[in-house]
Structure 1
Amino acid sequence: MSNTIMDTNFQFVGQKSIYKGKVREVYTLEKDILVMIATDRLSAFDVVMPKGIPYKGQILNQIATKMMKATEDIVPNWLLANPDPNVAIGIACEPFKVEMVIRGYMSGHAAREYKSGKRMICGVPMPEGMKENDKFPNPIITPATKAEKGEHDEDISKEDILKRRIVSKEDYEILEKYTKALFQRGTELAVKRGLILVDTKYEFGKTTDGQIVLIDEIHTPDSSRYFYAEGYEQRQSRGEAQKQLSKEFVRQWLITNGFQGLEGQSVPEMSDDYIISVSERYIELYESIMGEEFNKANIANIQERIGQNVSDYLKKK
């Protein structure tokens, strides 16, 4: 798997700093410009896996940038250009230190909490008598603190966010408004593809002139969970698992192999055959979510390609 991008160390013109997240690497340049590179790293349970997934960075970057363009009429975003399949260039922002998670259905983390007996998540009540993957009466917002690489995101309530002054009340109300609007648009886009947008997360930042904008990824299989709409009701009525589009299949493989990111656990070995199967699954996710064929970029010299494309773009600015 030598043709994956696991780490970068570029020196762009006007470069000031580099931030390396769990999956993306962000270069801050002069004139409030950010270069965000989507690597092929795979993160699950807030742990970065030792091997990369071919084309994963391209897939996430292209879904995110296309989804931003499909929502820019309702929420402003940071995006300026896409000079490379793995790269987004945009306006520098100060990120809010919370992720705005919104759930339309009781799945994933919410379902695991519910099964443990909890009926409250992030200060939001969950109705009695629900089954895993049931639809909530209304979507619920369950924020999480934003973790550094290698650390775990943590649930947090709106009340605690305001009490600890992580976000001001005025800004938080805007984040809530944008989160609901984006989820509604994402739901509408999913319906057109025969999908259900189950849950997702959004991240926001503030520009130097004080505008709140959408940043990072949006509606990707890493940040979102989708179900196939066809057969959803029948599967629920029979108590069967839902057919879904997300990286939950990776989480389930890890759980089956004894790993949930807990202390003392080791990441199981991922064979080359398994890595290829994950790559193929991500391509399937792209084509299902976007409704178009995925065109593989040339990854023979992926580092050189990215460096050249970004440099060419910056020379024109």
Structure 2
Amino acid sequence: MRIEEIKKLGLWPESKKTTNKKGIDELESIGYNLFYIGKNADLYSCPGDEAKTLLVRSDRTSVFDIPLNLEIEGKGIIQTSISNFGADFAKKSGIRTAILSQTVDKALKVYPRCQLMELCKPLEANIDNEVVQFELIFRNYLTGSLLDACQNGIDPYGLNLPSNLKQWHKFETPLFTPTTKGVKDIPLNSQKVKDTFPEIISSLEKLFKDFTTFAYERGIVVVDTKFEIFVNSAGEWVLGDEVLTPESSRFIAREDFEEENFTSMDKQILRDFGKASNWKEQAKSLKTGEKLEVNVPKEIKDKILSGYSTILERLSK
């Protein structure tokens, strides 16, 4: 299905610009046509009439939603394997995902980077008289933006948390902290979103709890995760492409966590480096389509790649 047909079905947002560039030769030659270049992956329309797309992960890397000139060789292949694992875990729990079971020809050189995806519309609903899309976040520990809010006496999700909780406090039941999805993620009242999607939220909470236990038994502490929900052509809700992966979650090696070393085995390493290097300020001068030129030491790249490899090895054992 060509991108023009995809747009007619309302399955591609007008706000996202498509490209006329040619993609990988071995894909273009068999009917897959590049139509979108993302920060970390590319999308191809597929031959045939089905509303699906081919996602091809690159080794490109970004943080803080800043496009970088940085590639970490091999990361895209590992990310794809972790993403497939997360999708399979969700499917075994009875939850549909946008990632399809069918694959491209395994003889293709690019096969390890590929996922066939069902094209879906983002889940939307009216919250406080505004139609919004959602990022549904579950947290096992008090850290990050929620910690900052608590320390400043702010209750963005209507959770009524005690003000004396310390960083890395473990919640008995995972906290649900939904936000809008957009240029700026705005916190939403937790109970209002639960009341709007009771079946979805209860299913995701169980999935998050089950995965937390599964990962812990294999040496990984799951700090939090973000789910994005879409609606397919049959009107069913499905999980998006990043399901229980380092791109949507924070994972810490259990042995590190127990020694109070709370560095995530993912892009947090790069975020910390970028924060120290003031990338956010530098990125303000970028023009549309430009990438921030950064110089990342090999030891940082190797540490990130090692983290992703460890996650895949431990989850898969």
- TM-score, L = length of structure 1: 0.72
Alpha-carbon distance in structure 1 between the residues aligned to 2:122 and 2:264: 30
Counterparts in 2 of 1:1-317, with a 5 A limit?
9-10=22-23, 11=28, 18-29=35-46, 30-74=49-93, 75-78=95-98, 79-83=100-104, 84-96=111-123, 97-115=133-151, 117-147=152-182, 151-158=183-190, 169=196, 172-230=197-255, 232=257, 235=260, 241-260=261-280, 264=284, 270-271=294-295, 274=297, 276-291=298-313
Give the distance between the partners of 2:136 and 2:293, measured in 1 at CA.
Answer: 32
Whether the 8 Å contact between 1:146 and 1:153 is mirrored in structure 2 is: yes
Residues in 2 aligned to 1:80 and 1:181: alpha-carbon distance in whole angstroms: 23
- Runs of 5+ in structure 2 lacking a partner? 1-19, 105-110, 124-132
SS of residue paired to 1:120? coil
Amino acid at match of 1:244: S
State the Cα deviation string for residues 40-73 of structure 1 (Å, max 9, x = none): 2322222222322222222221101112112212
User: Residues 259 and 265 of structure 1 are in contact (CA less than 8 Å); yes or no, is this contact kept in structure 2?
Assistant: no
Higher relative contact order (CA 8 A, sep 6+): 1
- More displaced, 187-196 or 21-30? 21-30
- Kept in 2, the 8 Å contact 1:100–1:143? The answer is yes
Structure 1 pair 26–242 and aligned structure 2 pair: CA distance change class (3 A): same
What amino acid maps onto 2:163 in structure 1? E
TM superposition shift of 1:227: 2.2
Shift, 1:31, TM fit: 1.0
> Counterpart of 1:135 in structure 2: which amino acid?
K
Residues 157, 26 of structure 1: alpha-carbon distance in 2 compared, 3 angstrom cutoff: farther
Quote the Cα distance in structure 2 between the aligned partners of 1:20 and 1:154. 26
Q: 1:259 to 1:279 in 2, by over 3 A?
A: closer
Does the 8 Å contact 1:123/1:157 carry over to 2?
A: yes
- CA distances 1:222-259 after superposition (whole Å, capped 9, x unpaired): 21112232363553xxxxx5243232111111121223
Q: For 1:189-242, what per-residue CA distance to the aligned partner results, in whole angstroms no more than 9, with x for missing partners?
A: 21122111000111221111111111211222221112232363553xxxxx52
Quote the offset at 1:103 in angstroms.
0.9
Deviation per residue, 1:153-206 (Å, 9 max, x gap): 3333347769xxxxx92xx22331232122112212211221110001112211
Q: TM-score under structure 2 normalisation? A: 0.72
Partner amino acid, structure 1, of 2:164: G
Q: Give yes or no for contact 1:64–1:218 (8 Å, CA) kept in 2.
A: yes
Q: Which amino acid aligns with 2:173?
A: N
C-alpha separation in 2, matches of 1:24 and 1:145: 23
SS at match of 1:218: coil
Question: Alignment RMSD, CA only?
Answer: 3.3
Q: Work out whether residues 227 and 245 of structure 1, in 8 Å CA contact, stay in contact via their aligned partners in 2.
A: yes
Q: In 2, Cα distance between the equivalents of 1:260 and 1:112? A: 19
Question: In the aligned structure 2, how far is the partner of 1:27 from the partner of 1:109?
Answer: 35
- Distance in 1 separating the partners of 2:40 and 2:143: 23
In 1, Cα distance between equivalents of 2:212 and 2:153: 27
Any idea what SS the aligned residue of 1:136 has? strand
**Native 8 Å contact 1:37 1:87 kept in 2:** yes
SS of the residue corresponding to residue 251 of structure 1 reads: helix
Flag the 1:159–1:138 CA change in 2: closer, same or farther, 3 A.
closer
Displacement of 1:104 in angstroms is 0.8
Amino acid corresponding to residue 43 of structure 2 in structure 1: V
